[in-house]
Amino acid sequence: MDKATAGGLVSGIALLLLAIAIAPGSSFAAFIDIPSAAVVVGGAIAACFIAFPGAAMLLFPKVLKKVFFPKQQELAPVITQIVEFAEIARRDGILALEAKTEEIEDPFILLGVQMAVDGTDVDLMEQILRTEMEAVAGRHKNGKSLMDTVGRYAPAFGMIGTLMGLIIMLGNMDDPEAIGPGMAVALITTLYGALVSNLFFLPFADKLAFYSKQEFQVREVIIKGLIAIQEGDNPRVIEQKLNTFLPQDQRVGKDSQAA
């Protein structure tokens, strides 16, 4: 689990609960209203079903899971692996990499190595790998759009719920004692909309965008490394090129560690 996501979410909720607990005259019961929550959450999800096809909505749980359980690749081990492949290709020939394909877990690296072993033209190899990146980028964009859409519509449905509450309240003006509680319930819906948007789904969308950026940085390194292997570059040169993507204190290789 991503501790930053879980920690931020728990901290945000805890601060809100603490504010309610220490505020004079407040109670937790005053901030709980099931109809208001139904309007905000149900309305935002309904809007997503209108905005997206059913197939995309079926991916919603999977996208939400990625916020908390991302599959992140560390850049340094990837560089180390590519340099190892470069050394094998330099020493035994590029066809020797075929024996390593069973050990490769990343499908993207595997695709590139297989093309290199097959003698695929460098330009075609890069084109295929970048097309694969674009396809992944499209899927990431769709996942982020789901989170953004909920975050965008939730405050709107919060306002709709507030207007509904005000209409109901104004229809009972003959009972002065009901005006105060009615106004409170109407405002809770706006509060729910703001919370769903700004504590949950908009931050979720930003976290997905951050993960996507990290993944594409790794894939860019893979493309540059595999093309360099295909072109027959020296392993040390490849290592130096790829190390530029890392901070100085995280770079791989003996020379970098010594520095």
pLDDT tens digits for 241-258? 999 988 888 888 755 444
For helices 122-170 and 202-230, angle between their N-to-C axes, nearest 10 degrees: 180
Provide the pLDDT for residue 248. 85
* Ranges 27-31, 205-209, 250-254: which has the least confidence: 250-254
Provide the pLDDT for residue 257. 47
3-state SS assignment for residue 84? helix
Provide the pLDDT for residue 167. 83
Bigger pLDDT: 148 vs 179 = 148
DSSP 8-state assignment for residue 29: G
Residue 107 has pLDDT above 80, yes or no: yes
Contacts 24+ apart (CB under 8 A), 213-219: 214/72, 214/73, 215/72, 215/73, 215/136, 215/140, 216/133, 216/136, 216/137, 217/75, 217/245, 218/73, 218/75, 218/78, 219/108, 219/129, 219/133, 219/136
Cα separation, 66 vs 185, in Å, equals 34
The answer to whether 157 touches 43, Cβ cutoff 8 Å, is yes
Highest mean pLDDT (candidates 127-131, 177-181, 184-188): 127-131
Over the chain, what is the mean pLDDT? 89
Residue 259 has pLDDT above 80, yes or no: no
Query: In the structure, what pLDDT confidence band is assigned to residue 150 with cuts at 50, 70 and 90?
Result: very high
Provide the pLDDT for residue 250. 81
Residue 123 has pLDDT above 50, yes or no: yes
User: What are the pLDDT digits (tens) for 52-71?
Assistant: 998 889 989 999 999 999 88
Residue carrying structure tokens 């770079």: 251
Provide the pLDDT for residue 148. 95
Question: How many helices and strands, by DSSP H and E, does the chain display?
Answer: 12, 0
